[in-house]
Amino acid sequence: MSALAAISNLAVAYRNAALPALSDVSLEIEAGEILAVIGESGSGKSTFARALIGLLPQRTAISGRIDWPGLDGAPRAGRDIGCVFQDPGSSLNPVLRIGEQVGEGARRHLGLGRRAADAEAVRLIGRVRLPEPERIARAFPHQLSGGQRQRVAIAAAIAARPRLLVADEVTSALDVVVQAAIVDLLVELVRADGMTLVFVTHDLALASGIADRIAVMAAGRLVELGPAAELVAAPKTAATAALVAAHIDLATPPLVGDAP
Amino acid sequence: MTAPLLIARDLRRTFASGGRRVAALDGVSLEIAPGETLGLVGASGCGKSTLARVLTRLVAPEAGSVHFMGADWLKLSGSRLRAARRHMQMVFQEPLAAFNPRATVAGVLADALRIHAVVPKAERGAEIARLVDRVGLPAALAGRSIRNISGGQRQRVAIARAIAVRPRLVILDEAVSALDVSVRGRILDLLVDLQRETGVSYLFVSHDLAVVRAVSHRIAVMDAGRIVEEGPAAEVIAAPSTAVLGRLIDAVPRLKGKPQA
């Protein structure tokens, strides 16, 4: 596999922060892979995602390099990289119709005219499996549920046919049933279009279910990186082992005994 | 079997939504025994949070009754209500909204201890230190503002406040859903330990079936304002009889690659 991006010695320090948010992170993102980036609050995983997208605030101290051997030059956010965040309520414009927001990427980056972009928006809304795409295209964000809004955000993110999709905690605000459906949708879209997916989450199980490789972050550092199943089966670091141990599923021994 | 601590009968509540009335609670009945954890699961919008709010009297039901500690809970008022309130505490997902934003951690706990006269005034300081330690927070945190601590720490303060007054029932509505898994594990252990020591009951409300199963003796499944399945945790999950529970079971993320214990 060839590298889409090569990150070397990346370090990020926010203004007025006592500690760096990222220190000495080096890894390659392979073209076409699903790379999960996991870690607890404050581990640096979202900072890593934002550095990749180029969305760090101004006057943030950034050192190291991000090269894009898989692209014909520097990435253009929205064109080469699509992003989806935790709260689609705040990334969608509340006063614009869904269709306009989904079609914007196609108009701006693919040069589609208004009517073609509208048609493309309806097609994309259908692609993220929302019912009655024509009706949804005319709706406003507040008329949709959280899970539906997240589907819209995904449709908008893939409108310009990016090479890389960065999904930062996209299912954390959703209930588990909706979460599973959104994850399935992301994997299907990424595989169908040959996109690369960087999937940032605090949920190791979710990551293990979809990722080719998992990167574990702790205290601003990349502490472990490996094929998903291997990393879960035989963690090499205490941070990964702790995440594996803290996982709770239906096979976990209950903490309580029989009814009192 | 001992008498139930809480008995809810045929609770009903509707809300207006887009010009229609939608039933958030459509005839819900349940019982919670002393020392028992009842897990309440369901998808977003099934009515589980409304049920938690009706039980804590934050929302009034349109019909139905609740008996708590033998009294007609929804009819209590004045000093009898205040006295009974001590015994039904609640913890929500986002604790910041549940605190006076100007308070310190110690101040939050001191208020609860003072209002319900849990310990003599002279012992209040020692009791606050004990509570802070009990929920696994460093002693130095007591003087910090509630705004200047992390979400996980704040949730532990919310739990410390709930248990400070030595209640009979704590209603936890998605109380661990926003926490890191390591913190979540410690909080769940703490809740279970407290129950063993004090016999407190919990109503544990969550969309996360795996977590509910880990801490609950019995599980009730809600869908469209009704309890559609109920029973001992292991039995209900081993043999789901409704599609909604089947979906919740299928949606639990499994750790792929984990060696079998």
* Cβ atoms A232, B258 nearer than 8 A: yes
Distance CA B178, CA B256 (A): 23
Intra-chain end-to-end CA distance of chain A, in Å: 57
* Cβ <8 Å between B248 and A258: no
Distance CA A186, CA B28 (A): 37
List of chain B residues whose C-beta atoms are within 8 Å of the C-beta of residue A202: 180-181
Closest CA to B99 of B148, B49, B50: B148
Mean of pLDDT values over B13-34: 92
Q: Domain residues of chain B, as ranges?
A: 6-87+170-251, 102-166
**Residue A137: is its pLDDT beyond 50?**
yes
The closest CB to that of A229, out of B185, B208, B257, belongs to B257
Interface test with B, best of A187, A252, A256 (most B CBs within 10 A): A256
* Cβ atoms A53, A229 nearer than 8 A: no
* Cβ atoms B118, B166 nearer than 8 A: yes
Chain B residues 29-58 with a CB less than 8 Å from chain A: 33-37, 43-45
User: pLDDT tens digit string along B166-210?
Assistant: 999 999 999 988 888 888 898 899 999 999 999 999 999 999 999
DSSP A72: S
User: pLDDT tens digit string along A36-52?
Assistant: 999 998 899 999 999 99
**Residue B261: is its pLDDT beyond 50?**
no
* Cβ <8 Å between B195 and A256: yes
Domain around A132? 90-162
Distance CA A17, CA A247 (A): 31
The closest CB to that of B211, out of A208, A248, A251, belongs to A248
% of chain A with per-residue pLDDT over 90: 85
Within an 8 Å CB–CB cutoff, is residue A206 touching chain B?
Answer: yes
**Residue B1: is its pLDDT beyond 80?**
no
* Cβ atoms A166, A80 nearer than 8 A: no
Distance CA B30, CA B205 (A): 13
* Cβ <8 Å between A180 and B233: no
**Residue B260: is its pLDDT beyond 70?**
no
Mean of pLDDT values over B97-113: 91
Which chain B residue is nearest to residue A254, measuring alpha carbons?
B214
List of chain A residues whose C-beta atoms are within 8 Å of the C-beta of residue B237: 250
List of chain B residues whose C-beta atoms are within 8 Å of the C-beta of residue A229: 256-257
**Residue B95: is its pLDDT beyond 80?**
no
* The predicted structure's pLDDT at residue A45: 94
User: pLDDT tens digit string along B60-89?
Assistant: 999 999 999 999 999 999 999 999 999 999
List of chain B residues whose C-beta atoms are within 8 Å of the C-beta of residue A180: 250-251, 253
**Residue B128: is its pLDDT beyond 90?**
yes
Any idea what the Cα angle at residue A62 is, between residues A57 and A63, rounded to 5°? 170
- Going by pLDDT thresholds of 50, 70 and 90, the confidence category of residue B28 is very high
Mean of pLDDT values over B17-35: 92
* Cβ atoms A206, A171 nearer than 8 A: yes
* Cβ <8 Å between A178 and B43: yes
**Residue B29: is its pLDDT beyond 80?**
yes
DSSP B249: H
Report the gap between the CA of A108 and the closest CA in chain B (Å): 35
Whether A95 is covered by a domain: the verdict is yes
* Cβ atoms A91, A153 nearer than 8 A: yes
Structure tokens given for A96: 């614009």
Tally of residues, chain A: 260
Within an 8 Å CB–CB cutoff, is residue A52 touching chain B?
Answer: no
* Cβ atoms B217, B204 nearer than 8 A: no
The closest CB to that of A248, out of B195, B214, B261, belongs to B214
Whether A148 is covered by a domain: the verdict is yes
**Residue B44: is its pLDDT beyond 50?**
yes
Whether A149 is covered by a domain: the verdict is yes
How confident is the prediction for chain A on average, in pLDDT? 93
Tell me what ipTM this predicted complex has: 0.84
Mean of pLDDT values over B9-32: 92
Structure tokens given for B91: 């913890």
Report the gap between the CA of B70 and the closest CA in chain A (Å): 19
Angle between the A176-193 and A146-157 helix axes, to the nearest 10 degrees? Answer: 10
Strand partners, B9: B65
Distance CA B155, CA A60 (A): 30
Q: Name the domain count of chain A.
A: 1
Intra-chain end-to-end CA distance of chain B, in Å: 35
How distant is the alpha carbon of residue B123 from its chain centre? 28
Whether A176 is covered by a domain: the verdict is no
B6-87+170-251 folds as Rossmann fold (3.40.50)
Distance CA A45, CA B120 (A): 47
User: Of the given ranges (B22-31, B131-140, B221-230), which has the lowest mean pLDDT?
Assistant: B131-140
* Cβ <8 Å between B217 and A232: no
User: pLDDT tens digit string along A84-108?
Assistant: 998 877 889 999 999 999 999 999 9
- Going by pLDDT thresholds of 50, 70 and 90, the confidence category of residue B18 is confident
CB pairs under 8 A between A and B: 133
List of chain A residues whose C-beta atoms are within 8 Å of the C-beta of residue B214: 248, 252, 254-256
**Residue A188: is its pLDDT beyond 50?**
yes
Distance CA B19, CA B9 (A): 28
Tell me the torsion sign for CA atoms A50, A183, B219, A250: negative
Q: Across the beta sheet with A34-38, what order do the strands follow?
A: A81-84, A164-168, A196-201, A34-38, A213-218, A221-227
Distance CA A18, CA B46 (A): 44
The closest CB to that of A228, out of B211, B252, B257, belongs to B257
* Cβ <8 Å between B180 and A202: yes
* The predicted structure's pLDDT at residue A112: 93
Question: Which residue intervals of chain A are DSSP H helices?
Answer: 45-53, 88-91, 98-110, 114-127, 133-138, 146-157, 176-193, 204-210, 228-233, 238-246
Structure tokens given for B163: 């248990």
Strand partners, A38: A201, A216
**Residue A1: is its pLDDT beyond 70?**
no
Within an 8 Å CB–CB cutoff, is residue A41 touching chain B?
Answer: yes
* The predicted structure's pLDDT at residue A212: 97
Q: Across the beta sheet with B169-173, what order do the strands follow?
A: B88-91, B169-173, B201-206, B37-41, B218-223, B226-232
- Going by pLDDT thresholds of 50, 70 and 90, the confidence category of residue B259 is low
List of chain B residues whose C-beta atoms are within 8 Å of the C-beta of residue A184: none
How confident is the prediction for chain B on average, in pLDDT? 92
Closest CA to B184 of B194, B174, B195, B170: B174
- How many Cβ atoms are within 10 Å of B21's Cβ, its own excluded? 9
Mean of pLDDT values over A234-238: 96
* Cβ <8 Å between A176 and B218: no
